[in-house]
A = this chain, B = another copy of it.
Amino acid sequence: MKIQIINPNTCQGMTEAIGRSAEAVSLSDSQIIACSPQHGPRSIECALDETIAAAAVLDEIAKGREQGVDAHIIACFGDPALDAAREIASAPVIGVAEAAFKLASIVSHRFGIVTTLARTLPAAEHLLHRYGYQHLCSGARAAEIPVLDLEELQQDTFEQLKNECLAAIQQDGADSIVLGCAGMSELAQELSSCLNVPVIDGVSAAVKLAESLHQLKLSTSKRGQYAAPIQKQFIGRYQQWSR
């Protein structure tokens, strides 16, 4: 199967890292197509970034559809543009936050989220509510690491992240950790070894869910809210959406 994994920001290094994480866990007959929009912010750390990136992600979904991919993954912890993507795609669309919550709640009673900047915490809280996982989360914490610092991670940044995970475990009562940024994807295994609890990376989780749905021949319902968008005119830089 072909799995398109979209990094919603425009940082090429992060797209590659996410692609590597996806490759590392995918089945041998899964082809990973990692990409990112040609327009938008280099990182997603506030509502402006997310609102802009959401519009840009949809171009990539459309390209993936043309390429005939079997699943689309939106690899930013805010799961931007998820509903719109499900409208325009025929294959399933999976957000990494959603994927992480779903697996974390199987392997633990309460999971903690550790993310980049405090500024992104409301987005995490919004998703917990949207997906119904508030009562299964022991809390969300920010390690105060800017997203792009994750690209070339220094030892002290790793320590900072690890310490925040420890606080989630010891102070908040987390039994597992959900990494709150797709850019942390490659750190899951090392953190889990240090912390001795499951550490769930949404990118890997989403890849496995994409394969699962494909094998079960399940795709987005085209009845109800995720039916194809209503045809109409779009103008200006969005005229490609006219149908």
Given contacts A106-B94, A107-B213, A212-B211, whether A52 and B224 have CB atoms under 8 Å apart is no
Q: Are A235 and B108 in contact (CB under 8 A)?
A: no
Q: How many A residues face the partner with a CB closer than 8 A?
A: 90
Q: Are A52 and B50 in contact (CB under 8 A)?
A: no
A41-B234, A122-B225 known, 14 other contacts, Cβ within 8 Å: A27-B215, A41-B241, A42-B233, A47-B225, A48-B88, A48-B241, A52-B241, A103-B216, A110-B224, A175-B225, A175-B226, A198-B218, A198-B219, A204-B216
Which residues does A use to contact B, with CB under 8 Å? 10, 25, 27, 37-43, 45-52, 54-56, 58, 81, 83-84, 86-88, 92-94, 98, 102-103, 105-110, 117, 119, 122, 129, 131-136, 146, 169, 173-176, 189, 196-198, 200, 204-205, 208-209, 211-213, 215-221, 223-227, 229-230, 232-238, 241
Q: Are B102 and A235 in contact (CB under 8 A)?
A: no
Q: Using Cβ atoms and an 8 Å threshold, which residues of chain B touch A175?
A: 221, 223-226
Q: Using Cβ atoms and an 8 Å threshold, which residues of chain B touch A43?
A: 232
